[in-house]
Structure 1
């Protein structure tokens, strides 16, 4: 009864989603019609309106004003426009229809919010898993500048840690499932954000030399380099700055290139945090498998912002270390795909100036890890990986990772095979 009363009150205080959508769609249609009438060819040429133009104008204007008056009345004078759940459930009785004592199937999960007769039913035995997945979904949507963002992170962190502390296998499986799903969703959102940034860096007004360079491999790097030394070509950086200045703020959120840049940095940090939690829950294999298939994200990360690259490099480093330990049952294809996709990023990514991604000792450790993973593969796979590394290493301005010792070992083993 208490739940039913609460739902009734909420229905009275809020207009329905369907009614909201009808109102907004009608307003948009009215606005478009007004704009089309006032900007018609006849108006531009100085001709007089026809009777039909006047009628359409007055009709749409009336609809627009009426809709907004209704909206204001609904906001300030709430009324029970939509029937309450109790009224809906009590409308029919007997004959196969719902009675007031039997809730509808669509509301059964909402009304049964606890165990019945001391036992967990099928709708609540995995409620903690659904709650955890819901929190991870909210985490992707909440802006990092919001005061509730850290609150949401702490809540998800606490639930995962409590599940691990209990030690029950079903709770461990809930952690693995929720974190694996969150890793997949966050990496997909990060890819979409980076892809949107790349598209905004290629305006239609760009000159043909810049378009040609963008079509080449690592074209963004070449374009930035030529722009720096000569200033003859329009650079992606200048486009970024202009789009940052022209970005809009709608409902408190930044849109445009600046919004995508901030979102990509936020998603990169979230993905790094999720990877750390997967490692903490002994479920890192889920991330290793997904990361080895993320070819689109690996390609876009080469030209991403250094702060975004920082998170992606740290994720790759964590997963490489797991591959190097040998505790995972990683196949040859899994190791090969991981190295061939993400090793180029290590060569092209910026290490950071004010806050380096890795220290000198961490860089040396990562070189040893990468060497161990490469040498665990067959010679044919080593040849492909090391050949690609040599090309990327010689082209890039970075001096890391230096896999010369690994390359020398492969040369010696190849020489022995030949002799």
Structure 2
């Protein structure tokens, strides 16, 4: 059998080389006429070749044929019905590795409903209908008081939370790319415009990632995937996870979303406010974790989760918008969350982990001139006092 050619070269051309010519900054194109001619020629030739290349030679054609064969061979049951008639039902099966009986008809039905909620725009008149039906199904599962039905809710909601969290990260990244790619001139530290080879290198590196992000953004735009909608649904899913006794699952996933926390500061102010609400809710959930779990030997694991949660999201809380005309959190809610943060910090190991968190907080708190929240000076002072006493005791 003839060996198929490696798709590495087309991937490099499509991901790095072409974007560097197609999306290169306008100021660089105007400055170098030769570069403008080369860019126009390569783009035109590439688009022409796309039209004349037979579909059978395109990289994705074999993959499409293979997937269609797999569909006919593996995705149809004996009755000729499509077993995985909805893509996120397959997503649920692939991400549910637990052999606990949660792969059932009711689980797949709930998975499909949550996936439809994820896709339909809020403006659609069917959105509230499907969401209400999914909520009714979850509530009925809990009312039965059956452990298997509770596990169905927990497993399906965990998969839905993971999927929505990934889409939210993508939406924030895509919004950041769009904001950066608005035609603004890049200025270097000396105040001059950044041209030449340095600009080309930055363009290639940056737009390699931009090309992939925009491709995924087009997939996201097939759904109702605005950032604020996804954030609202993520908070809703977290609340439903907590209702079925699995709020810790949402906390763990949110603690691991360090990339989202880092890119969230480039998001719109309203979206930042939505993320602050999610942080507030999940921080309270994290503060309630422990107790019985710690007695069972999970104390160390819980501390790691809390440490990761604070390291990821405390800088965001210091710098994010908490609203001006319409505050995201009330005065009492902000005070309550400061107490929650203090409780979480106090639950960490004193010498190592508390120092890292409080050092991180004081750095971002003092550098952000537009916000005085969260104010953890009380806990910082208490930590310094305790450290001083420990040093005195060790010196005796």
**TM bucket, shorter chain:** 0.5 to 0.7
TM-score by length of 1: 0.59
Change (3 A) 1:212 1:299: farther
Cross-structure match for 1:136:
114
Return closer, same or farther for 1:200/1:285 CA change in 2, 3 Å cut-off: same
Structure 1 equivalent of residue 3 of structure 2: none
Report deviation, 1:355: 2.8
How many residue pairs align between the two structures?
Answer: 268
Residue 335 of structure 1: which of 306, 309, 316 is its match? 306
Counterparts in 2 of 1:145-294, with a 5 A limit? 145-203=123-181, 205-209=183-187, 263-294=226-257
Which residue, out of 299, 302, 327, partners 1:356?
A: 327
Deviation at 1:190, TM superposition (A): 0.5
With over 3 angstroms needed to count, the CA separation of the structure-2 counterparts of 1:204 and 1:324, relative to structure 1, is closer
1:409 aligns with 2:382: yes
How far did 1:354 drift?
3.7
The whole-number CA distance in structure 2 between the counterparts of 1:132 and 1:260 is 18
Q: Could you report, residue by residue, the CA deviation over 1:179-226 in whole angstroms, capped at 9, with x for unpaired residues?
A: 10010000000011111111112228432218999xxxxxxxxxxxxx
Give the gaps of 5 or more residues in structure 2: 1-50, 53-76, 85-100, 192-216, 294-300
1:402 match: secondary structure: coil
Question: How well do the aligned residues superpose, as a CA RMSD in angstroms?
Answer: 3.3
Higher CA-based Rg:
1
Distance 1:260 1:411, change over 3 A: farther
Moved more, 373-382 or 403-412: 373-382
Cα deviation code 1:294-349 (max 9, x no counterpart): 11111111221122122221221122112222446452211110001011121112
Aligned equivalents of 2:330 and 2:362: distance in 1? 23
Give structure 1 regions of 4+ aligned residues with deviation exceeding 4 angstroms: 210-213, 254-262
1:175 to partner: Cα distance: 0.2
Other-structure match for 1:227: none
Q: Which has the higher contact order (CA 8 A, sep 6+)?
A: 2
Q: Deviations over 1:4-52 (max 9, x none)?
A: xxxxxxxxxxxxxxxxxxxxxxxxxxxxxxxxxxxxxxxxxxxxxxxxx
Aligned equivalents of 1:322 and 1:295: distance in 2? 18
Q: Among residues 361, 365, 385, which one is paired with 1:389 in the alignment?
A: 361
Alpha-carbon distance in 2 for matches of 1:416, 1:319: 33
With normalisation by structure 2, the TM-score equals 0.62
